[in-house]
Each structure stands twice: as structure tokens, then as C-alpha cells.
Amino acid sequence: MSTNNRVYVYKGFERFWHWNQALLIFVLAFTGFEIHSSYDFFGFETAVKIHNYAAWGFIILIVFAIFWHVTTGEWKQYIPTTKNLKAQAEFYLFGIFRNAPHPTKKTLISKLNPLQRLVYLGLKVLFIPIMVISGLLFMFYRYPQGDSIAIINIDNLEIIALIHTAGAFVLLAFVLVHLYLITTGHTITSNLKAMITGWEELDEEDQKDQDQPIGKPENEHDENPKI
């Protein structure tokens, strides 16, 4: 019979990075939509300033997060795998509504299921770089030529703006799905508490696999739903 152990899953910087990233995404989204005249809250000029400050904060946070992932080996959490990928998709589409057992184990060294690995990897190597690069181009399209737009002309800027806005909608969709999946843990608040305190109850039998290297695909028949 399996039992749950309280395990320190999310380290201090991991939680600092997660919550500050979430805050900055909300600030960037809120001010970004105001810049696009979706509503008037701060005023256009103030919204632009806040958006730019938040963007720099986001970039600095990314630099520290990359350093942390590389130096701790946590980047291996995002190595994609096809093992249990179909079962994981079927769980989110159907099984989760029938209280079916989770098809993927969650352990200290393998925190993400196959779909999470693909989604988070895509965000980190594709969508977030696109957002950062398009944002920087938007901010500095007149530099270093002063008012000149010789390198990036106004037609290209419109395309950059469209790409930046499309990326923002993708990130916003991810956040909404992420918020829903937060509620699918052992209890409706268990995943949220784990990301606040760092501690989470995990199956004792599952933790026996911790000797496996980080990034190794999970085994089957886990009963611990996770985000």
C-alpha cells in the first residue's frame, strides 16, 4: 500500500522565478492591451513606461533563470519524451473528468509530465524568445540611427507588432490553462500551496525512482495529478 511523503519539491529560487514571472506576464499583458487601446487605465504614455520597465525585469529574470537551470541541472526537466504522451493527452481530454488515475508519475527529479515538457520547452525556446526579440525590436527600432529607420523600416515594424501581439495571446492562453490545471492536484489548492511553500505530498513508492537521472521518462500509473 502506497503512502504519501511530504517532499521539498520547489526550491526557493524556483518559486521566486515562477511568481515573479507570473506577475510580470500579467503586468505586460495588462499594459500591452492598453497600449493597443483596448481600454484606458494608466494612460498610453504611462502604460508604455510600465510595459518597458516590466519587459526589462522579465529579461533580467530570464537571465538569472537560465543561469539557475544550467548550474543546477534543472534544464533536464524539459527534455521531451514520447513515453506516456498519448496517455497524458487522453487523461487531460477525458480521464480528468472521470477521476481516472494520472498516467505519469511525479517525482522530485521528474516534475513534469510529457505534455508539460513539450509545452514548457516550446515556451522557453520559441515563444518567449520571440516575445523578447520582437519587443526589443519594437523598443529600439529607431536605434542606433537616432530617428532613422534605415535598418528596420516602418512596414517591418507593423509585422513585428503583429508577431508580438500574437505571441502575447499565446502566453495569455497558456496562463489561463495553467490556472485551471493548478486546481487538479490532490486537492483544489494542493498545487498552489506547493508552489508557495515548496513542499508537496508525493507517493513514497514514486520517490524510489529518484536515483534515475533527471529527464528520464516517467513510469506509468501515477495517481498524483499535477499541473
Helix then strand then coil, in percent of the chain rounded to 5, is 65, 5, 30
Pick 6-143+155-208's CATH classification: 3.30.70.1090, 3.40.50.300, 1.20.950.20, 3.30.465.10.
Answer: 1.20.950.20
Q: Which three cell numbers, joined as nine digits, stand for 70?
A: 544550467
Task: Write the pLDDT tens digit of every residue in 124-148.
Answer: 999 999 999 999 888 877 655 555 5
| Inter-residue contact 106 to 222 (CB < 8 Å) | yes
pLDDT at 113 over 60: yes
Indicate the helix (H) or strand (E) that contains 202: strand 199-203
| pTM score, whole prediction | 0.81
201, 96 Cβ separation under 8 angstroms? no
Q: How confident is the model at residue 157 (pLDDT cuts 50, 70, 90)?
A: confident
User: Using 50, 70 and 90 to split pLDDT, how confident is the model at 207?
Assistant: low
For the chain, the structural domain boundaries read 6-143+155-208
Q: How many residues does the chain have?
A: 227
Beta bridge partners of 200: 7
- The DSSP secondary structure of 11-58, one letter per residue, reads -HHHHHHHHHHHHHHHHHHHHHHHHTTS--SS-HHHHHHHHHHHHHHH
Q: What is the mean pLDDT of residues 167-189?
A: 89
Counting beta carbons within 10 angstroms of the beta carbon of residue 142, is it exposed (0 to 12), middle (13 to 18) or buried (19 or more)? middle
DSSP state of 145: S
Amino acid in the structure at residue 166: A
Nearest to 62 by CA among 17, 121, 31, 3: 17
